[in-house]
Amino acid sequence: MNDGEIMIDGVSNTSKSNQESEGINLNPNAQKCLQQLLRVWLGFERDLSTVPLLRRIDLGTYTIEDHLCLLRNLRQQVIEGARWITRAASSFDRNHAGIRSTIISHAVDEHRDYELLEQDYVASGGKIEDILGMERNIGSEALHGYLMHRSSRQNPIDLLGAMWIIEGLGEKMARSWAERIQELTGLTEDSTRFMSYHGHNDGDHMLRFYEMLDEVCVDEMATSSIVKTSKVVARLYRLQLEEVEHGLE
C-alpha cells in the first residue's frame, strides 16, 4: 500500500535542506534554473513509466529476471559515472576550486558503488561472471560518450544538469523501486542495496548541489547550458534503460 510518502526527488530534499541551513537562498538565476530543472526531472520521471521494464514495476509484473537484467545494465553506467565525475573535477580551474572539492568528495563517496551492484546481482541469484562480462548497452555508450565529452571541457558547469538527473534517479530508486521490487519478486534487502544506499546519501548530496548551483548559475547562459545538459542526460539515460532488454548481437 502507498504509505502516503509523496515526494519529488530532490525537491523534498530542497525543503529539508532549507530547514537545515536557512542560509541557502538561491540567487534569482539559480532559482529560475531550479524551476526549469524540476520540469525536466518531472518529464523524465513520467517518461520512465513508458520504459517496458520499469512499467512492470508500476503494473506489478516485474520479475527476478527483470531485476538481474536491470542490474547487469546499470553496472557499466555506474563504473563510467565514477570516471566522468572525476574527469569533470579535473576540468575545473582554480577559480572553481570549491566546486572541484565538492565534486571530488562526491566521487569518493560513489566511485566504488558498482561493487554493491555486483553483490546485489549475486544475492538475486545471478552469476558474478555474467555481470562482470556485460558490456555497455547502446544507451550506456551514448550517455557515457556524451558525459566524457562534456566533462573534458574547461569548467563544465553544465554538468550540474547531469548530476541533477542522476542524483534524482538515485533517490527515486531508493524511494519507489527498492521496496517494491522486494515485494514483487520475493528478493530481500540484499538484492536492492545499491538502490537503497543511494537514498541515504542523497540528502547531503542535494544540499551541496544547491550550493554549487547558487555559485555557478549566475546568468542566463549558465542556466540554459545546465538545463540543456539535463535534458540530454535525461533522454540518454532513458535510452539506456530502454535498451536493457535488447541484445547486443
Partner 1 sequence: MSVYITSTGAFLPGPPIAVEEVEGVLGAIHGKPSWLRVQIQKANKIQTRHYAIDKNQQTTHSNTLMATNAASECLDRSYISRDKVGMLAVATTQGDHPAPGMASMVQAELGLPELEILTAHGICSSSMMALKAAWNSLRLEEHEAALVVSSELASRLLKKQRYEAATKSTFAEKSVDFNTEFLRWMLSDGAGALLLQNRPAPKGVSLRIDWVRGFSHAHAFPTCMSVGSAGRVDDERTWQDYDTYADAETAGALLMRQDVRLLDNILRMGVDGYLRLAEEGVSKPAEVDHFLCHYSSHHFKDKILELLDAAGVGIPEERWWTNLYTRGNTGAASLFIMIDEFLRTDEVEISEGQTILCFVPESGRFNTTYMQLTVVKQ
For partner 1, which stretch binds (CB under 8 A), given 8-16, 73-81, 141-149, 217-225?
8-16
- The type of residue at 45 is E
- Out of 21, 25, 39, 115, name the contact with partner 1 by CB under 8 A: 39
- Out of 25, 49, 63, 152, name the contact with partner 1 by CB under 8 A: 49
Lay out the site mask for partner 1 across 167-186 (x = CB under 8 A, - = otherwise).
Answer: -------------x------
- The type of residue at 93 is D
Nearest to 230 by CA among 218, 238, 220, 241: 238
Phi and psi torsions of 21, nearest 5°: -135, 95
User: What span, in angstroms and rounded, lies between the C-alpha atoms of 120 and 124?
Assistant: 6
Q: What does the block give as the cell for 111?
A: 566511485
Spatial contact of 126 and 71, defined as CB atoms under 8 Å apart? yes
Q: Is 148 in the site for partner 1 (CB under 8 A)?
A: no
Q: Which residues 6+ apart lie within 8 Å of 84 measured at CB? A: 144, 147, 148, 150, 151, 159
Question: How many CB atoms within 10 Å of residue 66?
Answer: 20
User: What span, in angstroms and rounded, lies between the C-alpha atoms of 150 and 144?
Assistant: 10
Q: Is 11 in the site for partner 1 (CB under 8 A)?
A: yes
Nearest to 171 by CA among 135, 143, 145, 195: 195
For partner 1, which stretch binds (CB under 8 A), given 35-43, 85-93, 187-195, 231-239?
35-43
For partner 1, which stretch binds (CB under 8 A), given 40-48, 82-90, 91-99, 113-121?
40-48
- Out of 50, 90, 105, 224, name the contact with partner 1 by CB under 8 A: 50
Q: How far is the CB of 5 from partner 1 (least distance, A)?
A: 8
For partner 1, which stretch binds (CB under 8 A), given 42-50, 115-123, 205-213, 241-249?
42-50
Q: How far is the CB of 12 from partner 1 (least distance, A)?
A: 7
- The type of residue at 135 is E
Footprint on residues 75-134 left by partner 1 (CB under 8 A): none
Q: What is the binding site for partner 1 (CB under 8 A)? A: 1-2, 4-8, 11-12, 14-15, 31, 34-36, 38-39, 42-43, 45-47, 49-50, 55, 58-61, 180
